[in-house]
Amino acid sequence: MSIAIESLQLIKRYPGQKKEDRPAIDTIDLTVESGQLYGLVGPDGAGKTTLLRILSTVMEPTSGSAQLAGFDVMKQSEQVRALLGYMPQAFSLYPDLSVMENLKFFADINDVPAREQKKRIDELLEFARLTEFTNRRSENLSGGMRKKLALACALIHEPKILLLDEPTTGVDPVSRRELWHLLAKVIQQGVTVLVSTPYMDEAERCSTVSVINQGRMLITGAPIELENQMPFQIVEVKARPRHALRAVAGQTDGVLSWRAVGDRLRLSVDNPNAVMPRIDDNLKKAGAQISILREARILMEDVFIYLVEKQKEQA
Protein backbone atom coordinates (compact mmCIF):
# COMPACT_ATOMS: atom_id res chain seq x y z
CA MET A 1 0.00 0.00 0.00
CA SER A 2 1.43 3.41 -0.99
CA ILE A 3 1.70 6.32 1.44
CA ALA A 4 -0.56 9.29 0.69
CA ILE A 5 0.34 11.54 3.67
CA GLU A 6 3.43 11.48 5.81
CA SER A 7 4.88 13.85 8.39
CA LEU A 8 8.10 13.50 10.37
CA GLN A 9 8.84 15.34 13.60
CA LEU A 10 6.58 18.28 12.75
CA ILE A 11 6.76 21.14 15.22
CA LYS A 12 4.89 24.44 15.02
CA ARG A 13 5.47 27.38 17.32
CA TYR A 14 3.52 30.56 16.75
CA PRO A 15 5.18 34.00 16.84
CA GLY A 16 5.70 35.18 20.40
CA GLN A 17 5.90 31.69 21.87
CA LYS A 18 8.90 31.08 24.09
CA LYS A 19 11.05 28.01 23.62
CA GLU A 20 9.83 26.60 26.94
CA ASP A 21 6.14 27.07 25.94
CA ARG A 22 4.22 24.09 24.60
CA PRO A 23 4.23 24.14 20.77
CA ALA A 24 0.92 24.15 18.90
CA ILE A 25 2.02 20.78 17.51
CA ASP A 26 4.91 18.88 19.02
CA THR A 27 7.01 16.34 17.06
CA ILE A 28 4.09 14.92 15.08
CA ASP A 29 4.72 11.74 13.10
CA LEU A 30 1.82 10.77 10.84
CA THR A 31 1.43 8.10 8.15
CA VAL A 32 -1.77 7.79 6.12
CA GLU A 33 -2.01 5.06 3.51
CA SER A 34 -3.66 5.66 0.14
CA GLY A 35 -7.40 5.09 0.16
CA GLN A 36 -7.73 5.33 3.94
CA LEU A 37 -10.36 7.16 5.95
CA TYR A 38 -8.09 8.42 8.71
CA GLY A 39 -9.40 10.28 11.76
CA LEU A 40 -7.54 12.93 13.73
CA VAL A 41 -9.41 13.01 17.02
CA GLY A 42 -9.08 15.57 19.80
CA PRO A 43 -10.69 18.54 21.57
CA ASP A 44 -10.55 22.20 20.57
CA GLY A 45 -7.00 23.50 20.86
CA ALA A 46 -5.43 20.07 20.46
CA GLY A 47 -3.49 21.05 17.33
CA LYS A 48 -5.69 19.45 14.67
CA THR A 49 -6.25 22.62 12.64
CA THR A 50 -2.58 23.60 12.79
CA LEU A 51 -1.54 20.18 11.47
CA LEU A 52 -4.06 20.29 8.62
CA ARG A 53 -3.01 23.82 7.67
CA ILE A 54 0.59 22.68 7.37
CA LEU A 55 -0.36 19.63 5.29
CA SER A 56 -2.49 21.82 3.01
CA THR A 57 0.47 24.22 2.40
CA VAL A 58 -1.41 27.10 4.08
CA MET A 59 1.14 27.31 6.91
CA GLU A 60 4.81 26.43 7.28
CA PRO A 61 6.05 24.35 10.21
CA THR A 62 8.75 25.57 12.54
CA SER A 63 10.67 22.35 11.91
CA GLY A 64 10.14 18.86 10.57
CA SER A 65 8.84 17.76 7.17
CA ALA A 66 5.65 16.59 5.47
CA GLN A 67 4.81 15.03 2.13
CA LEU A 68 1.59 14.40 0.23
CA ALA A 69 1.83 11.73 -2.48
CA GLY A 70 5.60 12.12 -2.32
CA PHE A 71 5.60 15.91 -2.79
CA ASP A 72 7.13 18.11 -0.11
CA VAL A 73 4.47 20.51 1.25
CA MET A 74 6.96 23.38 1.53
CA LYS A 75 9.20 22.87 -1.50
CA GLN A 76 6.57 21.52 -3.93
CA SER A 77 3.42 23.31 -2.82
CA GLU A 78 2.02 23.74 -6.35
CA GLN A 79 2.15 20.00 -7.01
CA VAL A 80 0.56 19.33 -3.62
CA ARG A 81 -2.33 21.74 -4.24
CA ALA A 82 -3.09 20.15 -7.61
CA LEU A 83 -3.90 16.81 -6.01
CA LEU A 84 -5.39 18.13 -2.78
CA GLY A 85 -8.90 19.07 -1.69
CA TYR A 86 -9.03 21.10 1.53
CA MET A 87 -12.14 21.97 3.53
CA PRO A 88 -11.29 24.32 6.42
CA GLN A 89 -13.35 24.43 9.59
CA ALA A 90 -14.69 27.94 8.99
CA PHE A 91 -17.16 28.46 6.15
CA SER A 92 -14.88 29.48 3.29
CA LEU A 93 -17.29 29.93 0.38
CA TYR A 94 -18.55 33.21 -1.01
CA PRO A 95 -21.84 34.10 0.73
CA ASP A 96 -23.07 36.39 -2.05
CA LEU A 97 -22.59 33.72 -4.74
CA SER A 98 -25.15 31.03 -5.49
CA VAL A 99 -24.48 27.32 -5.16
CA MET A 100 -23.81 27.09 -8.90
CA GLU A 101 -21.60 30.20 -8.92
CA ASN A 102 -19.48 28.86 -6.06
CA LEU A 103 -18.96 25.56 -7.85
CA LYS A 104 -18.04 27.31 -11.11
CA PHE A 105 -15.64 29.62 -9.29
CA PHE A 106 -13.82 26.74 -7.60
CA ALA A 107 -13.76 24.83 -10.88
CA ASP A 108 -12.06 27.81 -12.54
CA ILE A 109 -9.44 28.42 -9.84
CA ASN A 110 -8.61 24.69 -9.79
CA ASP A 111 -8.13 24.67 -13.58
CA VAL A 112 -10.96 22.26 -14.37
CA PRO A 113 -11.22 22.41 -18.19
CA ALA A 114 -14.31 24.29 -19.40
CA ARG A 115 -15.47 21.30 -21.46
CA GLU A 116 -15.54 19.14 -18.29
CA GLN A 117 -17.05 21.63 -15.86
CA LYS A 118 -20.75 21.07 -16.57
CA LYS A 119 -20.48 17.30 -16.23
CA ARG A 120 -18.42 17.56 -13.05
CA ILE A 121 -20.70 20.18 -11.47
CA ASP A 122 -23.84 18.18 -12.31
CA GLU A 123 -22.26 15.08 -10.74
CA LEU A 124 -21.40 16.95 -7.56
CA LEU A 125 -24.80 18.63 -7.28
CA GLU A 126 -26.42 15.20 -7.39
CA PHE A 127 -23.77 13.73 -5.10
CA ALA A 128 -24.38 16.44 -2.46
CA ARG A 129 -28.14 16.54 -3.08
CA LEU A 130 -28.04 20.22 -3.98
CA THR A 131 -29.56 20.04 -7.46
CA GLU A 132 -32.72 21.86 -6.36
CA PHE A 133 -30.75 24.72 -4.80
CA THR A 134 -28.40 25.82 -7.57
CA ASN A 135 -29.68 29.42 -7.57
CA ARG A 136 -29.74 29.88 -3.79
CA ARG A 137 -27.02 32.11 -2.35
CA SER A 138 -24.73 30.18 -0.05
CA GLU A 139 -25.41 32.59 2.84
CA ASN A 140 -29.04 31.43 2.75
CA LEU A 141 -28.24 27.72 3.00
CA SER A 142 -28.67 25.73 6.20
CA GLY A 143 -25.54 24.74 8.13
CA GLY A 144 -25.65 21.20 6.78
CA MET A 145 -26.16 22.35 3.19
CA ARG A 146 -23.23 24.77 3.49
CA LYS A 147 -21.00 21.93 4.62
CA LYS A 148 -22.12 19.77 1.70
CA LEU A 149 -21.47 22.62 -0.73
CA ALA A 150 -18.00 23.16 0.76
CA LEU A 151 -17.29 19.45 0.34
CA ALA A 152 -18.49 19.57 -3.28
CA CYS A 153 -16.21 22.56 -3.96
CA ALA A 154 -13.25 20.71 -2.40
CA LEU A 155 -13.95 17.76 -4.74
CA ILE A 156 -14.48 19.78 -7.92
CA HIS A 157 -11.03 19.01 -9.39
CA GLU A 158 -11.15 15.29 -8.44
CA PRO A 159 -8.38 15.40 -5.82
CA LYS A 160 -6.54 12.28 -4.76
CA ILE A 161 -6.30 13.47 -1.14
CA LEU A 162 -8.96 15.26 0.92
CA LEU A 163 -8.26 17.15 4.15
CA LEU A 164 -11.37 17.99 6.19
CA ASP A 165 -11.15 20.11 9.33
CA GLU A 166 -14.09 19.27 11.62
CA PRO A 167 -16.59 19.05 8.73
CA THR A 168 -19.56 18.24 10.97
CA THR A 169 -19.05 20.84 13.69
CA GLY A 170 -22.10 23.05 14.11
CA VAL A 171 -24.54 20.96 12.10
CA ASP A 172 -27.55 18.94 13.22
CA PRO A 173 -27.41 15.14 13.72
CA VAL A 174 -29.19 14.40 10.43
CA SER A 175 -26.69 16.52 8.49
CA ARG A 176 -23.83 14.81 10.31
CA ARG A 177 -25.07 11.42 9.11
CA GLU A 178 -25.48 12.71 5.57
CA LEU A 179 -21.94 14.09 5.50
CA TRP A 180 -20.48 10.81 6.70
CA HIS A 181 -22.55 8.99 4.08
CA LEU A 182 -20.99 11.27 1.44
CA LEU A 183 -17.51 10.59 2.83
CA ALA A 184 -18.11 6.84 2.50
CA LYS A 185 -18.84 7.41 -1.19
CA VAL A 186 -15.66 9.47 -1.56
CA ILE A 187 -13.59 6.65 -0.05
CA GLN A 188 -15.20 4.17 -2.48
CA GLN A 189 -13.86 6.33 -5.31
CA GLY A 190 -10.31 5.78 -4.05
CA VAL A 191 -9.75 9.18 -2.45
CA THR A 192 -7.61 9.33 0.69
CA VAL A 193 -9.43 11.26 3.43
CA LEU A 194 -7.86 12.75 6.55
CA VAL A 195 -10.62 14.17 8.73
CA SER A 196 -10.33 15.94 12.08
CA THR A 197 -13.16 15.74 14.59
CA PRO A 198 -13.84 16.44 18.27
CA TYR A 199 -16.61 13.81 18.24
CA MET A 200 -15.49 10.44 19.57
CA ASP A 201 -18.41 8.59 17.96
CA GLU A 202 -17.16 9.77 14.55
CA ALA A 203 -13.76 8.23 15.27
CA GLU A 204 -15.48 4.84 15.24
CA ARG A 205 -16.21 5.34 11.52
CA CYS A 206 -12.53 5.66 10.56
CA SER A 207 -10.25 2.78 9.60
CA THR A 208 -7.39 4.34 11.57
CA VAL A 209 -7.39 7.12 14.15
CA SER A 210 -4.79 9.20 15.96
CA VAL A 211 -5.75 10.76 19.28
CA ILE A 212 -4.16 14.21 19.66
CA ASN A 213 -4.14 16.46 22.70
CA GLN A 214 -2.02 19.49 23.64
CA GLY A 215 -0.20 19.19 20.34
CA ARG A 216 0.95 15.61 20.86
CA MET A 217 -0.13 12.32 19.32
CA LEU A 218 -1.14 10.04 22.19
CA ILE A 219 -1.98 6.85 20.31
CA THR A 220 -2.66 5.58 16.78
CA GLY A 221 -4.47 2.51 15.48
CA ALA A 222 -7.77 1.05 14.37
CA PRO A 223 -10.57 2.00 16.81
CA ILE A 224 -11.25 -1.60 17.83
CA GLU A 225 -7.52 -2.18 18.44
CA LEU A 226 -7.24 0.89 20.64
CA GLU A 227 -10.32 -0.09 22.61
CA ASN A 228 -8.89 -3.57 23.18
CA GLN A 229 -5.60 -2.13 24.46
CA MET A 230 -7.19 -0.35 27.40
CA PRO A 231 -6.24 -1.72 30.87
CA PHE A 232 -9.82 -1.72 32.12
CA GLN A 233 -13.33 -2.81 31.23
CA ILE A 234 -16.61 -0.91 31.41
CA VAL A 235 -19.68 -1.42 33.58
CA GLU A 236 -22.77 0.68 32.93
CA VAL A 237 -25.13 1.38 35.80
CA LYS A 238 -28.30 3.38 36.32
CA ALA A 239 -29.96 3.72 39.72
CA ARG A 240 -31.91 6.14 41.89
CA PRO A 241 -31.28 8.20 43.91
CA ARG A 242 -28.35 9.40 41.87
CA HIS A 243 -26.37 10.70 44.85
CA ALA A 244 -26.37 7.17 46.25
CA LEU A 245 -25.19 5.81 42.90
CA ARG A 246 -22.28 8.27 42.79
CA ALA A 247 -21.31 7.52 46.37
CA VAL A 248 -21.30 3.77 45.73
CA ALA A 249 -19.31 4.16 42.51
CA GLY A 250 -16.63 6.12 44.34
CA GLN A 251 -16.36 3.67 47.24
CA THR A 252 -16.62 0.20 45.69
CA ASP A 253 -13.46 -1.89 45.42
CA GLY A 254 -12.41 -2.58 41.83
CA VAL A 255 -13.86 0.65 40.41
CA LEU A 256 -10.90 2.52 38.93
CA SER A 257 -12.85 5.61 37.85
CA TRP A 258 -16.31 6.66 36.77
CA ARG A 259 -18.04 9.33 34.73
CA ALA A 260 -21.63 10.38 34.18
CA VAL A 261 -23.13 9.90 30.72
CA GLY A 262 -26.71 11.13 30.59
CA ASP A 263 -28.73 9.44 33.34
CA ARG A 264 -26.23 6.67 34.04
CA LEU A 265 -22.61 6.11 35.05
CA ARG A 266 -19.86 4.39 33.09
CA LEU A 267 -17.44 2.71 35.48
CA SER A 268 -13.93 1.73 34.51
CA VAL A 269 -13.28 -1.51 36.40
CA ASP A 270 -10.59 -4.17 36.65
CA ASN A 271 -12.97 -7.15 36.58
CA PRO A 272 -16.69 -6.75 35.73
CA ASN A 273 -17.61 -10.19 37.06
CA ALA A 274 -16.20 -9.31 40.47
CA VAL A 275 -17.30 -5.67 40.60
CA MET A 276 -20.92 -5.96 39.46
CA PRO A 277 -22.05 -8.08 42.46
CA ARG A 278 -20.36 -5.56 44.80
CA ILE A 279 -22.11 -2.65 43.07
CA ASP A 280 -25.43 -4.48 43.26
CA ASP A 281 -24.96 -5.26 46.96
CA ASN A 282 -23.78 -1.75 47.88
CA LEU A 283 -26.61 -0.04 46.02
CA LYS A 284 -29.21 -2.24 47.69
CA LYS A 285 -27.68 -1.49 51.11
CA ALA A 286 -27.96 2.23 50.24
CA GLY A 287 -31.66 1.76 49.44
CA ALA A 288 -31.18 2.54 45.74
CA GLN A 289 -33.39 1.20 42.95
CA ILE A 290 -31.29 -0.34 40.15
CA SER A 291 -32.61 -0.22 36.59
CA ILE A 292 -29.39 -1.00 34.68
CA LEU A 293 -26.29 -2.90 35.76
CA ARG A 294 -24.36 -4.51 32.92
CA GLU A 295 -21.00 -4.84 31.21
CA ALA A 296 -20.63 -2.47 28.24
CA ARG A 297 -18.28 -2.13 25.29
CA ILE A 298 -15.31 0.22 25.58
CA LEU A 299 -15.83 3.25 23.31
CA MET A 300 -13.39 5.71 21.76
CA GLU A 301 -14.58 8.27 24.31
CA ASP A 302 -13.37 5.97 27.11
CA VAL A 303 -10.04 5.60 25.30
CA PHE A 304 -9.68 9.37 24.91
CA ILE A 305 -10.50 10.20 28.53
CA TYR A 306 -8.07 7.55 29.80
CA LEU A 307 -5.24 8.83 27.58
CA VAL A 308 -5.80 12.49 28.49
CA GLU A 309 -5.81 11.69 32.21
CA LYS A 310 -2.62 9.65 31.78
CA GLN A 311 -1.03 12.58 29.91
CA LYS A 312 -1.91 14.91 32.81
CA GLU A 313 -0.33 12.53 35.31
CA GLN A 314 2.90 12.41 33.31
CA ALA A 315 3.11 16.19 32.82
Strand partners, 255: 269
CATH assignment of the domain containing 100: 3.40.50.300
The reply to whether the predicted model has a pTM over 0.85 is yes
Total number of domains in the chain: 2
Residues of the chain with confidence (pLDDT) below 70: 1, 91, 315
Domain that holds residue 276: 231-297
Asked whether residue 305 is domain-assigned, the answer is: no
Same domain flag for 259 and 214:
no
Whether residues 191 and 47 fall in one domain: yes
Say which residues have a Cβ less than 8 Å from residue 300's Cβ, sequence separation at least 6. Answer: 41, 200, 201, 203, 204, 209, 223, 226, 227
User: What does the pLDDT read at residue 315?
Assistant: 66
Give yes or no for a contact between 156 and 121, defined as CB atoms under 8 angstroms apart: yes
Residues 64, 203: one domain? yes
Please give the backbone phi and psi of residue 309, each rounded to the nearest 5 degrees, phi first: -65, -40
**Shared-domain flag, residues 154 and 263:** no
**What is the Cβ-side half-sphere exposure of residue 123, based on CA atoms within 13 angstroms?**
13
CATH number where 266 lies: 3.30.70.100
Residues 6+ apart with CB under 8 A from 53: 59
Q: Are residues 235 and 223 in the same domain?
A: no
Q: 218 and 87, same structural domain?
A: yes
Centroid of chain to Cα 266? 23
Does a structural domain hold residue 144?
A: yes
- Nearest Cα to Cα of residue 128 among 110, 102, 96, 109: 102
Give yes or no: residues 209 and 133 share one domain.
yes
- Interatomic CA distance for residues 137 and 273, integer angstroms: 59
Query: What's the pLDDT at 73?
Result: 94
DSSP character for 24?
Answer: S
- Is residue 127 situated within a structural domain? yes
Q: Assess if residue 308 is contained within a domain.
A: no
Question: Do 147 and 276 belong to one domain?
Answer: no
Of 139, 201, 140, 145, which is closest to residue 175 (Cα–Cα)? Answer: 145
- CB atoms < 10 A from the CB of 222, how many? 12
Other C-beta atoms closer than 10 Å to the C-beta of 310 total 12
Q: Are residues 222 and 252 in the same domain?
A: no
Note whether 86 and 150 are same-domain residues.
Answer: yes
Q: Mind listing the pLDDT tens digit for each residue in 168-209?
A: 888 888 888 888 988 898 899 999 999 999 988 899 999 999
> Measured between alpha carbons, how far is 157 from 151 in angstroms, rounded to an integer?
12
Residue 124 lies in a domain: yes
Average confidence score pLDDT of the chain: 91
Q: Tell me what pLDDT residue 85 has.
A: 93
Could you tell me which residues come within 8 angstroms of residue 290 by beta carbon, excluding any fewer than 6 positions away? Answer: 237, 238, 239, 280, 283, 284
